[in-house]
Amino acid sequence: MPLDHYLTLGRSGLRVSPFALGAMTFGEDAGGAGASVEESENILAAYLDHGGNFIDTANFYTNGHSEKILGDFFASHPGRRDRVVLASKFFTNMFPGDPNGGGAGRRSILAQLDETLRRLRTDYLDLYWLHNWDRHTPIEETMRTLDDVVRAGKVRYLGFSNIPAWVTAQAQTMALLKGWTPLIALQVEYSLLARHVEAEIGPLARDEGMALVPWSPLRNGFLSGKYRRGTQVVDSARAAFVGGPSEDEFVVIDAVAAVAAEVGTTSAAVALAWLRAREGTVVPILGARRLEHLHANLAGLDVTLTPQQLHRLDEVSAPALSTAIDADLRAALQFAGTTVDGRPSGVYPPLAGATRY
């Protein structure tokens, strides 16, 4: 499956590649962990040459240098900007000492958007994400302002990133009832080592027709295949901050490696193929600091896991979700031993054969 076999992003008319290219590592302004301008442009050009069209960044990535690298690239390659879906995010304050320099208030959104458009050297964004929840701003102010920038032609579509499910539901309901621009996608951390979104965010996205766009689909490299028991990984920005995987994470890492050996591919390709097989529209974001990282990750497009392999990975990585009640118990309470929508239910034990009064 090549990058030019496009997917419709949520309930919209926007078509995107099955993998997005994340530009968080474009530029060396954040502690030297990113890619040089030359390498960033090589990665971007390779992604586009493979048919990719979905590029994701944020206002504060490498202190704004990520956006500038993208803007300079497209300015020097006329005609390419209009063929890509260019996404960026707002929220992070780039101006220490200014309480209105970030967040999701009207003044902040408008100022951040103008700065992003200036760095990207474009007059519109295809997709604009709220990067984090602003607890100090009414969500109706945020959604109304975002609708205004869409109507002004500066933004085409909207999404949320890292926002609680209840806030997202409130915002989406408000937008639909008031005739404002709705959300079409949610950017979330999601991988075999981070499945907490399956408790509430995932079901919400499916119910509302919103796509999931996972960041860190390889858990910052833990699922790339380079982490092995008893070995030390030195070429990892993640390890420099938090160390290596835990014992529980290694159990999943080992299972991914075993499936990769069966398929004859890499652990990274298996982890990405697992995400692509999840229910609904799921478009992982690929991060790359070097060109070879991109090529290695693109192998995930060529892997189709069997139902048995998917089940094994599901089982070994099963999260302890904080749902209100277990799904099987809920089905037993509701359907009392009948089969509904193809799924049989049990009977709540205290009710089996109980006398009715």
Residue 323 is predicted with a pLDDT of 54
**Taking residues 41-52, what's their average pLDDT?**
98
Tell me the pLDDT band of 29, cut-offs 50, 70 and 90.
confident
With beta carbons less than 8 A apart as the criterion, state whether 284 and 217 touch. yes
Residue 243 is predicted with a pLDDT of 72
Active site residue 61: yes
Confidence check: pLDDT of 31 > 70: no
Confidence check: pLDDT of 37 > 80: yes
Q: Which of 20-24, 145-149, 346-350 has the lowest mean pLDDT?
A: 346-350
Domains of the chain, CATH where assigned: 7-324 (3.20.20.100), 326-357 (no CATH)
Please tell me the pTM assigned to this model. 0.90
Residue 168 is predicted with a pLDDT of 98
Catalytic residue among 47, 61, 128, 157: 61
Handedness of CA 233, 239, 242, 245 (dihedral sign): negative
Residue 326 is predicted with a pLDDT of 64
| Average pLDDT over the chain, rounded to an integer | 91
Residue 335 is predicted with a pLDDT of 65
Confidence check: pLDDT of 132 > 60: yes
**Taking residues 164-175, what's their average pLDDT?**
98
At 209-245, the pLDDT tens digits run: 999 999 999 998 999 988 887 677 755 555 555 578 9
**Taking residues 68-86, what's their average pLDDT?**
97
Tell me the pLDDT band of 313, cut-offs 50, 70 and 90.
very high
